[in-house]
Amino acid sequence: MAKIKVVHYINQFFAQIGGEEKADYPAELRVGEVVGPGMAFMANFKDEAEIIATIVCGDSYFNENLDKAKADVLAMVKEQNPDIFVAGPAFNAGRYGVACATIAAAVQEELGIPALTGMYIENPGADMFKDKVYIVSTKNSAAGMRDAVSKMAPLTLKIAKGEPIGASAEEGYIPNGVRVNFFEKERGSKRAVKMLIKKLNDKPYTTEYPMPDFDRVDPNPAVKDLAHAKIALVTSGGIVPKGNPDHIESSSASHYGEYDIAGVMDLTEETYETAHGGYDPVYANEDSDRVLPVDVLRDMEKEGIIGELHHLFYTTTGNGTAVASAKAFAAEFSAKLKADGVDAVILTST
C-alpha cells in the first residue's frame, strides 16, 4: 500500500533559519526535505506516511503579505498534490499560529486537500479558525513538541485515510462546535446523578456540556480627585531599561519587570528600549515614551492635572504570553501598587 503523502508547513524559527531577524523570510518550497519538527512526525508516522516536501515561511512575511504569501504557498501545495497538509505545531506563537491556521484552512477550502494544525488553546489562531480546520491542542511552548506530535500524527493519518473522527476529548483537537448524535451506555438521568454526587463530594467529574467562560472585568469607579491622585504606569509593550537587565522574553514571557523612574522626565533612546518581539521595535526604541508615556505624565504632573506619577512602573511582553501567566503577573504587582497607595493605573500595550 502506498504511503500517505504529506506536505509540512513551518516557520523560519523551526526551519533553523533564524528568529525575529529572519521573520521576513519569503515562502520557500523544499521538495524531499524533512525539516525540524518534520523529523518527529516521520518517526510517529512510521511506514504509513511520509513528508514529501516542507514549506518554510517567515511569520512576519506571511502575515504582512497575506494575499501573496497565501497564493504562493497554495501554489506550492497544489504542485506537490499531497494527501494531507500539516502546519506547525505553533504552540503559543501568535503570528505563527495565525499563519498555520490561515494556510491550513485555505488548503482545505481552495484545494480540497484535508489539513490540520496544532497550537496552544490561547493562541489567537485557535480562536479564529477552530471551526474551520482541525487544530490539535498543544502545550504553550516548544517544550511540548513530543506531546504535540504524538497527538497530531495519529489524527493526520486518520484524516488522510478518511476514517471517522471521534470527539475532541478522544482525538485531542480543540472543540470546534460540531455535535454528533450517538448512543451512550447509560441514559442521561443516570449520568447526571452520578456527576452531581461527584460534585457534592468534591470529586473530579467532566461535564457533558461545558459552558463558555467569559472573562469580564467590571470597571472601577472614576477617580474623583485626579489632581491629588497617584498614577502608575503598566505596559505589555515590553519597555525596559537599555539592555533588558531582567531578560524579559520577547514572546511568551515568564516574568515581568519592575523599574524605578524617580527623577526620569523622558525615556530616551540611550536609556530605554523594548524587549517585545511582536512588533517593529524601531519607533519604540527611538522614543519609548510612545509606548510608556512618561514624558506626558510628567507634564501633567507639573500642570497639576494629576497628583503624582508613581516612581515604579511594571512591564512585560504581551505577545504569546499565556492568559494565566498575565493574570498571575497582574495579581502580584497589583498588590504592590495598592500597598504603595496608587489610585489608578494607565495600562498601555502596543
Domain boundaries, the chain: 4-171, 226-348
Q: What is the pTM of this model?
A: 0.65
- Domain 4-171 is found in CATH 3.40.50.2300: yes
C-alpha–C-alpha distance, residues 157 and 191, integer Å = 33
User: Residue 310 in contact with residue 331, Cβ under 8 Å?
Assistant: no
C-alpha–C-alpha distance, residues 189 and 289, integer Å = 61
pLDDT of residue 1: 66
pLDDT at 209 over 90: no
Cell of 191: 449520568
pLDDT of residue 181: 79
pLDDT at 215 over 80: no
pLDDT of residue 314: 98
Q: What is the pLDDT of residues 100-154, one digit of tens each?
A: 999 999 999 999 999 999 999 888 888 889 999 999 999 988 999 999 999 999 9
In degrees rounded to 5, what are phi and psi of residue 99? Answer: -65, -45
pLDDT of residue 53: 97
In degrees rounded to 5, what are phi and psi of residue 160? Answer: -65, -35
Mean pLDDT confidence for 292-300:
97
pLDDT of residue 239: 97
